Amino acid sequence: MSFSLDLRRFVALAVAGLVVLALAALAVVSDSPQWTAVFAGGLLLAAGFVVMAPCQLQMSGALTVVLRNLAAKKAEASGARTVRRSAALFALGYLLFYLPIAGALGGAAWLLGRYSWVLMVAGGMFTIVLGLAVLGLLGRSWLSRCRGPLYLLRSGRASFQKPFRAGTAFGQYCASCCGPYLYALVVLAGATGSFTLGVGLVMLYATTMVIPFLLPALLAPESYTTLSSRLSTVLPRLDEATGIVLVGMGLLLLPVAILAAGL
């Protein structure tokens, strides 16, 4: 997948990045741990919608693939009941997959304590690399095949025949991208001192992803028929948006990690 960068957008992003770095420097220089935490947390929460929206829309895309496969197997499978049941199982698979992830992230923050910022830096760099891979800018790297749920489907690592397993596969995809962001959030929230706080916050995130995903499936299941016919145009654009978001998120995590190190 090729990616073209508009010069004006690049300049706008660069200016925004410089402003953020300048404010970060101010926060550090102010020598106030409280306002440093506010600034770092503010950066993460401000980016929340931009991080979650592409992923949540891809969840709908992934469910559409499941429904198509079910419809191919059984002629009567495209009804409202099938959509609702599949969405519920997909969501359950996703949430159950996130339980051990929540434990891992919360546990990592709790165990690493005041050195948890190191993993934040590593997470930020990994996210940038992942974003560049999704955008197709890493030619032959093993990451270049990572194209989101479509990769999981093509590689055969996900079963898009069964909604529950597709949900767990999507959870795996989601956690690998959002994991560093979530980890940074739980560290700043104080999970270095409380394991259950970390776990609770990650599960809250997963639940916040699942509810908007379930609503159209439960209330307007016929909308999945439209999404199915438009999937080939929607998913590549979502993939590109995801790549840009990942690079941006990685760049954001680096100053946040530095701020967290100073706390």
Partner 1 sequence: MSLTLLHGTAEVHSEEATSILLAWNWEPTVVLGLVAALLGYGLLAWRLYATHGRFDGRAAIAWVFGLLAVTVALMSPLDALADTRLLSAHMVQHGLLMSVAPPLLLLGLYPRLVVPVTRPIMKPLLRDRRTHAVLKAASSPGLALGIWLVVLYAWHVPTLYQWALRNEVVHIVEHVFFIHAGLLFWLPVIEPVPTLTRMKLSEKLAYLAVAQVGTGVLAAIMIWGPPLYPFYESSQTFWGLSTVADQRVAGLTMMVMDMLPALSVAGWILFKSLTVEERRERSINRKEEAWRVI
56 in contact with partner 1 (CB under 8 A): yes
30 in contact with partner 1 (CB under 8 A): no
The one among 19, 215, 218, 262 contacting partner 1 by CB under 8 A: 215
Structure tokens at 54: 């592409």
DSSP state of 144: G
DSSP state of 18: H
Opening angle at CA 204, ends 202 and 206, nearest 5: 70
Binding string to partner 1 for residues 195 to 214, with x set by CB under 8 A, is what? Answer: ---------x---xx-xxx-
Angle between helices 116-134 and 223-262 (to 10 degrees): 140
Residue closer to partner 1, measured from CB, 53 or 104: 53
Dihedral sign, Cα of residue 188, residue 135, residue 212, residue 168:
negative
158 to 197, contacts with partner 1 by CB under 8 A? 188-189
229 in contact with partner 1 (CB under 8 A): yes
CB of 25 to partner 1, least distance (A): 18
The one among 8, 34, 76, 140 contacting partner 1 by CB under 8 A: 34
66 to 125, contacts with partner 1 by CB under 8 A? none
Would you list the DSSP string of 148-181? THHHHHHHT-S-SSSHHHHHHHHHHHHHHHHHHH
SS3 of 5, please? Answer: coil
Q: Contact, 153 vs 65, CB < 8 A?
A: yes
Residue closer to partner 1, measured from CB, 54 or 250: 54
Half-sphere CA count of 99, side-chain side, radius 13 A: 7
Residue closer to partner 1, measured from CB, 154 or 237: 237
CB of 154 to partner 1, least distance (A): 23
The one among 35, 107, 138, 203 contacting partner 1 by CB under 8 A: 35
CB of 38 to partner 1, least distance (A): 4
226 in contact with partner 1 (CB under 8 A): yes
Number of residues forming the site for partner 1 (CB under 8 A): 37
49 in contact with partner 1 (CB under 8 A): yes
The DSSP H or E segment spanning 123 is helix 116-134
Structure tokens at 121: 């830096």
CB of 251 to partner 1, least distance (A): 16
Q: Contact, 147 vs 76, CB < 8 A?
A: no
Q: Contact, 192 vs 114, CB < 8 A?
A: yes
**Binding residues vs partner 1 (CB under 8 A):** 34-35, 37-39, 41-42, 44-50, 52-53, 56-57, 60, 188-189, 204, 208-209, 211-213, 215-216, 219-220, 223, 226-227, 229-230, 234
